[in-house]
Chain A
Amino acid sequence: MRDISMDRVQATRENILGIIKNTSLTHEQKLTNLANAADGLLEVLDVPEGLDDLLNCDADRRCICDLFEGHAPMRPRYIVPDYEKFFKQGSAFLQLEPPTDFFEALNHLLIIYKHVPSITNYPVYLGNLDMLLDPFIKDLDDETVKKHLRLFLTNVDRTVLDSFSHADLGPVATRAGYLIMEVSAELENAVPNITMRYDPDITDDEFVLAGVRCALKTAKPSFANHKMFKSELGDDYVIASCYNGLKLGGGSYTLCRLILGHIADRARDIKDFKENVLPYVLDIQGRYMDARIAFEVEESGFFESNFLAKEGLIHRDRFTAMYGLVGLADAVNILLEKEGKSDRYGHSEEATRLGVEIMEIIDTWNKNHVNKYCEATDGHFLLHAQVGIAEDIEVAPGTRVPIGEEPAELVDHLNVLSNFHKYFPSGTGDIFPMDITIHKNPEYVVDIIKGAWKKDLRYLSFYSSESDVIRITGYLVKRSEIEKFEKGVAVLQNTTHLGTGAKHNGKILERKVR
């Protein structure tokens, strides 16, 4: 372990005292922040030379960001337990036999959720809920099932205090799936995030229509291109956290992100960016992620000691890592400006072409970089279009067209995006607030999704411009909770804090309504 300066120790002590005295934080939020502060005192990772200037510089120059993962990762960032296996075998550690009915199944899930770690300290994956629960409700009437789903989902919303927590539905229609959507629409909770894995060849039209109706009430589910994910990750993929495609029984060790706009700032022109600046940063972020993964696997002791690994609910060799990026639009606009061109991302074929060329460079780099602990994905990381954090200012999410610059027509918007979704097996997504009139015509949304899948789009979210629950970037927040937090009142869910930052810095309430 390397030494650190006394100045840094003193600054950390002041930070800790500030956390303790902060009246806008709940007890749990204080604990999380205190743990991060403590971990920040360590220097144990074998980081690449040159990282400091890219990671620890001023925010407006930062090219790499490790998204609060800390200096000594003690567990993978995202963990995806195999809950079906848990139902089959119970858990010795949790002293639970396999559940025998619906009520035991729900109680088992609520117990294990408390013990699934992640970057947020809350489970980022709650299971393919409809498939998990459907076998248990055969002999129960709808009202009984809904009553207990209501209790279960309310419990989750009030105890999983972070909406980077995902339950999946589909692709096959089930009675449990319909009832979960019915109850979710009624409750209008922010947690959990829900995705429907949708394949028009497998999923009933009625099921996806029920999904759209639910989404227009409460901003979930989102829709994942099942065929596309399956072809890349296999049958046993899940959607976790924001919209991250990961292997069941595995997860992601880490997620770091390139801030492409700031990388472009450092380049002289397009040629310099493509040939020198970008490849240099790609390599350093890659080796930084390698260092984080090596510590988790070889030194943290997580995979040897945690009950999820010991009981076979996760497997080290099903983990991978997410190689993230933000600000493709920023990079394209900055580089075109350096060439004396006024084309803007989202509005010009040349801008789109440059965006694709940049993605090809990143994708090719990733295909040539090998990490021996990413066997689950052929030894490579998975690209991820990260969509920003609350502190981001003037940073365009992932490959999205910046808010305020969306093309006038949705079809033109979708056609731009269709060039980029294919690069991101571990997730990308676009979000469209919808005018209330389509409540009368959910088939309108289904037609758009069906078309989108044919155009290689991966993941789409819709919400009504009038809903309380809205999608910020990859997570859900209640507008009414943001309003409370803005008045200085402590609020239950961590993501409300992030949503408030994103409202001011990311203009998320100003998205073009479709």
Chain B
Amino acid sequence: MTAVTAPVNKIIPFSSVDGPGNRTAIFLQGCNIDCRYCHNPETRVTVVMSGHNPDISEAVITVGDGPCQVDITHMTPQAVMEQVKKQVPFIRGITVSGGECMLHQDFLHDLFVLAKGEGLTTLIDSNGTLPFSKCPELLSVTDGVMLDVKAFFQADYETVTGSKNTYEVVLENAVFLAAQGKLEEIRCVICPSLYDGKKSVRALGEYMKSYYEPGAFHFKLISYRPMGVRPEYAHMLTPGTDYMNELAAILSEIGYQDTVVV
């Protein structure tokens, strides 16, 4: 196993919102797109390892209006696993999120091999901008992917993410992962100020329908909330409960079960 490391922003010992059951959630630093509604923008900036000792480094990054110091620790998969083991037997698995954790595929692979050794399940929370079809080894130790589909239509997607060349990859990933039985969840953040949620969710539901069977994967519809969002974007509208329930009803009409609204 290589001595690969990844910049770890934080580890949440017990998480109820990063996949099924109780999981330890590991947040890696650095993201390749720029969602306006990002609620943890401090995890976006890529941290360059400093000095010769890659084990621990600290980066000062500036976010939003004022300076904000975030301690980033470069950790090996073994070091992360030591932190995870403290939660055994209370957790059923781990979830790696970000930033964008697929920027650290070798690290993910090695960490998941260790997690499997402990009998833990392994999930990836990804923005879907890097093709999963190119990493079969990682997928072989991954139980599922929670895939963000920021918006179904390209113009909307680019408005949300500021990313010009990743749109197709996301939808290809959705189809590929569903076909492989590795799609755990499709997550859509609903932000009425940015795009038409109803149109997007309906079109995405229709698009994925032929890859769906009950129990295979589910949708999670997440209301945009201003907490943690950069000040210049925090004025955007929060969708109402009725609107969110309408979106869930659209998915239910198409035939999807177990849609989660948060």
Q: What is the interface of chain A, defined by CB distance below 8 A to chain B?
A: 409-411, 414, 437-438, 440-441, 443-448, 450-452, 454-455, 514
Question: For residue B22, which residues in chain A have a CB less than 8 angstroms away from its CB?
Answer: 443-445, 447-448, 451
Instruction: Say yes or no for B90: interface residue by CB 8 A criterion.
Output: yes
* Chain B residue at minimal CB-CB distance from A446: B21
Instruction: Say yes or no for B226: interface residue by CB 8 A criterion.
Output: no
Q: How near does chain A come to B147, taking the closest CB pair, in angstroms?
A: 19
Interface string of B219-262 (1 = CB under 8 A from A): 00000000000000000000000000000000000000000101
Q: State the interface size on chain B (CB cutoff 8 A).
A: 16
Say yes or no: A437 contacts B16, CB within 8 Å: yes
Once bound together, how far apart are the Cα atoms of A35 and B262, in whole Å? 54
Once bound together, how far apart are the Cα atoms of A441 and B90, in whole Å? 15
16 A–B pairs (Cβ distance < 8 Å), ordered by A: A409-B13, A409-B14, A410-B13, A411-B14, A437-B16, A437-B262, A440-B260, A441-B16, A441-B20, A444-B22, A446-B21, A447-B90, A448-B14, A448-B90, A451-B89, A455-B90
Given A447-B90, A451-B91, CB of A410 within 8 Å of CB of B17? no
Cβ-defined partner of B16 (8 Å) among A411, A438, A450, A452: A438
Instruction: Say yes or no for B78: interface residue by CB 8 A criterion.
Output: no
Interface residues of chain A: helix, strand, loop or mixed (majority): helix
Say yes or no: A414 contacts B21, CB within 8 Å: no
Once bound together, how far apart are the Cα atoms of A514 and B16, in whole Å? 10
Question: For residue A440, which residues in chain B have a CB less than 8 angstroms away from its CB?
Answer: 16-17, 260, 262
Say yes or no: A455 contacts B89, CB within 8 Å: yes
Once bound together, how far apart are the Cα atoms of A444 and B87, in whole Å? 13
Instruction: Say yes or no for B164: interface residue by CB 8 A criterion.
Output: no
Once bound together, how far apart are the Cα atoms of A410 and B87, in whole Å? 10
Most chain-B Cβ atoms within 10 A of its Cβ — which of A414, A441, A450? A441
Interface residues of chain B: helix, strand, loop or mixed (majority): loop
Interface string of B61-95 (1 = CB under 8 A from A): 00000000000000000000000001111111000
Once bound together, how far apart are the Cα atoms of A443 and B92, in whole Å? 10
Interface string of B16-42 (1 = CB under 8 A from A): 110011100000000000000000000
Once bound together, how far apart are the Cα atoms of A503 and B7, in whole Å? 45
Q: How near does chain B come to A370, taking the closest CB pair, in angstroms?
A: 38
* Chain B residue at minimal CB-CB distance from A415: B86
Cβ-defined partner of A450 (8 Å) among B13, B86, B89: B89
Once bound together, how far apart are the Cα atoms of A446 and B20, in whole Å? 11
Question: For residue A451, which residues in chain B have a CB less than 8 angstroms away from its CB?
Answer: 22, 88-91
Once bound together, how far apart are the Cα atoms of A447 and B89, in whole Å? 8
Say yes or no: B14 contacts A443, CB within 8 Å: no
Say yes or no: A447 contacts B21, CB within 8 Å: yes
Say yes or no: B90 contacts A414, CB within 8 Å: yes
Q: How near does chain A come to B39, taking the closest CB pair, in angstroms?
A: 14
Once bound together, how far apart are the Cα atoms of A455 and B91, in whole Å? 13
* Chain A residue at minimal CB-CB distance from B24: A411
The 8 closest A-B pairs by CB, nearest first: A451-B90, A447-B22, A444-B16, A451-B89, A443-B21, A447-B21, A454-B89, A441-B16
Once bound together, how far apart are the Cα atoms of A448 and B90, in whole Å? 5
Q: How near does chain B come to A225, taking the closest CB pair, in angstroms?
A: 14
* Chain A residue at minimal CB-CB distance from B22: A447
Once bound together, how far apart are the Cα atoms of A444 and B92, in whole Å? 9
Say yes or no: A452 contacts B14, CB within 8 Å: no
Once bound together, how far apart are the Cα atoms of A26 and B16, in whole Å? 44
Say yes or no: A441 contacts B21, CB within 8 Å: yes
Question: For residue A441, which residues in chain B have a CB less than 8 angstroms away from its CB?
Answer: 16-17, 20-21
Question: For residue A410, which residues in chain B have a CB less than 8 angstroms away from its CB?
Answer: 13-14
Q: How near does chain A come to B50, taking the closest CB pair, in angstroms?
A: 29
Say yes or no: B91 contacts A447, CB within 8 Å: yes
* Chain B residue at minimal CB-CB distance from A447: B22
* Interface residues in B75-125 (C-beta closer than 8 Å to A): 86-92
Question: For residue B91, which residues in chain A have a CB less than 8 angstroms away from its CB?
Answer: 447, 451
Q: How near does chain B come to A433, taking the closest CB pair, in angstroms?
A: 14
Q: How near does chain B come to A417, taking the closest CB pair, in angstroms?
A: 12
Say yes or no: A443 contacts B89, CB within 8 Å: no
Question: For residue A450, which residues in chain B have a CB less than 8 angstroms away from its CB?
Answer: 89
Most chain-A Cβ atoms within 10 A of its Cβ — which of B87, B89, B90, B92? B90
Most chain-A Cβ atoms within 10 A of its Cβ — which of B13, B20, B22, B92? B22
